[in-house]
Amino acid sequence: MDLQVANRAKVVALAIKTYYFTLSSELILELDNYFFISVLSRNIISIFYLAFNGFKFIIEGKCCYFYNNGSFFLWI
- Measure the CA–CA gap between 8 and 45, rounded to whole angstroms: 19
Q: What is the pLDDT of residue 69?
A: 79
Residue 10 scores a pLDDT above 80? yes
Give residue-wise pLDDT tens across range 13-70.
Answer: 777 778 887 877 777 878 777 777 777 656 667 778 788 878 888 888 888 888 887 7
According to DSSP, residue 1 is labeled -
CA distance 64 to 28: 18
- Complete DSSP assignment for 34-54: EEE-TTSSS----HHHHHHTT
